[in-house]
A and B are shown apart, each in its own frame.
Chain A
Amino acid sequence: MSKERILILGNGGAGINAAIAARKTGFKGEIAMVSERDGPVFNPMLSPYYLKGIVPWERCFPFDYRIYKELDIRCHFGTPVVELDGIGQEVTLGDGKKISFDRCLIATGASPVIPAIEGLEDHSLYKTIRTPASVLDLNGAIRGGGKAVVLGASLVGLKASEILKKRGMEVILVEKEMQVLPYGAHPLIAGILTSFLEEKGIEVRLGITLKGAKPWKGRVICDFGEKKEIADILLICTGVRANIDFIDPRQIMIDKGAIVDNRMATNVENIYAAGDACQVMDFLSNRHRWFGTWGFACKQGLVAGKNMAGEDVHTADFVMENISPIFDWMYAQVGQIKGYRNDVTYEYLKDGKDGHYLFVLHEGVVSGANLINTTHLAGMIRQAIYKRLPFSYIRQTLLIR
């Protein structure tokens, strides 16, 4: 019999950590990796730091090329997976090549969603931030001055606004909901952030949708109905979608990503998924959810790698976490702020001039928190959510000096 083969689809944080873990576990068989893009692992979360000039381009690739050799990975880079036959244990690549496997990991990540708006069929009209090419493209488009419209006040949208502002552009941040961070922040916290962004010179327009976009002398006319803006850059930050078009949903259960258990296994034997391509169990709602963070992707990749190599390890359920600098502030979301359940109460506390806490409580137990400049407690609050500790615990222990 030939060597056992683990096939990893996707060369991101999830994929590479799966390979590392499989080898660490002692897997002696073949590891093959398929990636649409050629080149070492790119960490999309570093792109804002690159665009702000904090990290040089080379360092957006945290694992260098040698790792494939060290881990003895067979790379099939530069062509996408177009079909996965989970039962037949075989994938088809874009160039028609077929690769069979014993175990396969879906770690193809996610891509920005482009809303169905008239004019956006023309890819040259807008920018995104995700892949190396998209980041370099955006970087090239930013020149001192000019106007930028950022569509979507997601966390990426906020970060992008900061970058464009810092790089000398006039920035209009447009969000169709009535607040920034519509899915992650309590309206009160969102309001504080909005004022802060405005203070920093960003124009925030809420409750507004883009109706259409048209090219005009190398620029874009953005049509908001009553108002039009002529932008030098239109940046789309309205969210991402898992790259799972190659999955046959009759085989593998999918929702917004491939659904996996705490071993990162899908419903089909020998098929695993990790990172932005999958949905895992949410600790709070007991439902599968899409999380989409670098840390989770790596962790999930690691667990998947170990299991594919023959170990039997489980992750804990996941609690939503997001943390990021926005200008000179630190913002974080821990757990669920919105849509967890209806019978929650909120506890808002201020800490000094710019410090804010907003806790979401269910029967006195913490289920979520928004933090502004108080993120030193982020990890401990997440731990408190896991341990289902009452808010009084946090009040008594963490908030007291």
Chain B
Amino acid sequence: MMQYGFSFDISRCTGCMACVIACQDQNDSEGDNPPSFRYVIKYEKVQGTNPLIYFFSISCQHCGDAPCIMVCPVRAIKKRDEDGVVVIDRDLCIGCHSCEMACPFGAPKFQGDGRMAKCDLCYTRIEKNMKPACVRICPTGALGAGPIEELSKKKAEKASFVFLTSLVGDYHR
């Protein structure tokens, strides 16, 4: 099975948030408190006397072994065979938020209708040879997307390249 995913180069992320809004623009997240399927968190640490500020851009990681799929009581979350993208059938969702608890990345978001929605890696765009909206906008090229094997090849080339899956923890540049 093919597995697509995001790559993220933390050394390049500036916390500019363009990816956040690009996602909202692509997915028409409007309204008073519109959810974004991608968000950016800041991490500050002081190394010796040197304060360092890092940013992480996070969204659904389309995990190989996605914990949200298992916990969904109505089995509304599935992994696509074609590209390994984790998708939700919103018609089935009952809004129990179990997936919100299961996901270590905070990827499931809840819309005004109380149902979950999340990043679908813009798979329709990918099918049309377009990049996901967030990747396309990223001003510094910190975000990437593609088949996981290709991404991991790049990883070998560049030490500062991390998969988001190993991210919620500590990172030393």
Contact = CB atoms under 8 A, between A and B. Distances in A.
Do A and B contact each other directly (Cβ–Cβ < 8 Å)?
yes
Nearest to A45: B73
Contacts of A382: 101, 104
B16 interface: no
Interface in A47-101: 49, 54-55, 59, 62-63
Residue of B43, B97, B110, B114 most packed against chain A (CB within 10 A):
B97
Contacts of B42: 396-397, 400
A49 B96 contact: yes
B73 A43 contact: yes
B95 interface: yes
Contacts, number: 93
B159 interface: no
Given A380-B105, A396-B44, A49 B94 contact: yes
A397 B104 CA distance: 14
A299 interface: yes
Contacts of A54: 94-95
Nearest to B33: A352
Nearest to B92: A59
A380 B106 contact: yes
B101 A396 contact: no
Interface string A26-46: 000000000000000001011
Interface string A296-322: 001100100000000000000000011
Given A49-B96, A302-B70, A389-B169, A375 B101 contact: yes
Contacts of A384: 168
Contact of A294 (B41, B71, B92, B94): B71
A377 interface: yes
A67 to B, nearest CB: 11
A45 B130 CA distance: 41
A43 B71 CA distance: 12
Nearest to A298: B70
Interface string A276-295: 00000000000000000011
A330 B100 CA distance: 11
B15 to A, nearest CB: 11
A377 B106 contact: yes
A201 to B, nearest CB: 21
Contact of B106 (A299, A332, A379): A379
Given A383-B168, A396-B44, A332 B74 contact: no
Nearest to B169: A387
B100 A323 contact: yes
A168 interface: no
B96 A325 contact: yes
A49 B114 CA distance: 13
A59 B92 CA distance: 9
A387 B74 CA distance: 30
A377 B105 CA distance: 9
A46 B70 contact: no
A249 B27 CA distance: 56
A326 to B, nearest CB: 11
Contacts of B44: 396
A287 B66 CA distance: 27
A379 B105 contact: yes
A46 B94 contact: yes
Interface in B39-86: 41-44, 56, 67, 70-71, 73-75
Nearest to A331: B97
A57 to B, nearest CB: 13
B96 A379 contact: no
Contacts of A62: 73-75
A380 B168 contact: yes
Contact of A59 (B56, B74, B96, B100): B74
B12 to A, nearest CB: 18
A398 B96 contact: no
A376 interface: yes
B73 A376 contact: no
Given A54-B94, A379-B101, A396-B44, A294 B73 contact: yes
A63 B75 CA distance: 9
Interface string A372-392: 000111111011100101000
Contacts of A378: 97, 100-101
A17 B71 CA distance: 11
Given A295-B71, A322-B101, 9 more contacts: A17-B70, A54-B95, A294-B98, A323-B98, A324-B97, A375-B100, A376-B109, A379-B104, A384-B168
16 contacts: A45-B73, A46-B94, A54-B94, A55-B94, A294-B71, A294-B98, A295-B98, A295-B101, A295-B102, A324-B97, A325-B97, A325-B114, A376-B100, A380-B105, A382-B104, A397-B56
Interface of A: 17, 43, 45-46, 49, 54-55, 59, 62-63, 294-295, 298-299, 302, 321-325, 330, 332, 334, 375-380, 382-384, 387, 389, 393, 396-398, 400
Interface of B: 41-44, 56, 67, 70-71, 73-75, 92, 94-98, 100-106, 109-110, 114, 168-169
